[in-house]
Amino acid sequence: MIKGKGTITYDDGQAFEGDATLDFQVVGNLRHGAGTFAHAKAFTLAAKGGQPILACGGQRIRVLFTEASMDGLARFNTSGDFLSE
């Protein structure tokens, strides 16, 4: 699980910013940086002034976290591409 403040961008170009939580299952090697792919089991984003968004249905999602922690570990900057189930 990754938690933090970030941006989610969908294939159609829609982008939302806010507090995000991402649960994912690694497929292959998960690397920090753009071009990383993994399957997202659940992605929720509390957009500014809006309802939480759940990405599903095989959409490709680009995620950029500006402040994030993974399972309570130290903060890091990360981004990646995720395929939602």
What tokens were used for 7? 């941006």
Start-to-end CA distance of the chain, whole Å, equals 16
Looking at every residue in the chain, the average pLDDT score rounds to 58
Q: What is the pLDDT of residue 14?
A: 74
- Check: pTM over 0.75? Answer yes or no: no
| Cα–Cα dist 2/42, whole Å | 11
| Cα–Cα dist 9/15, whole Å | 4
Q: What is the pLDDT of residues 66-85, one digit of tens each?
A: 665 555 444 444 555 555 55
Tally of CB atoms within 10 A around 34: 11
Q: What is the pLDDT of residues 12-48, one digit of tens each?
A: 777 777 776 666 554 444 444 444 455 555 555 555 5
Domain encompassing residue 28: 2-84
Q: What is the pLDDT of residue 41?
A: 52
Q: Using a pLDDT cut of 70, give the percent of the chain over it.
A: 12
Query: How many independent structural domains does the chain possess?
Result: 1
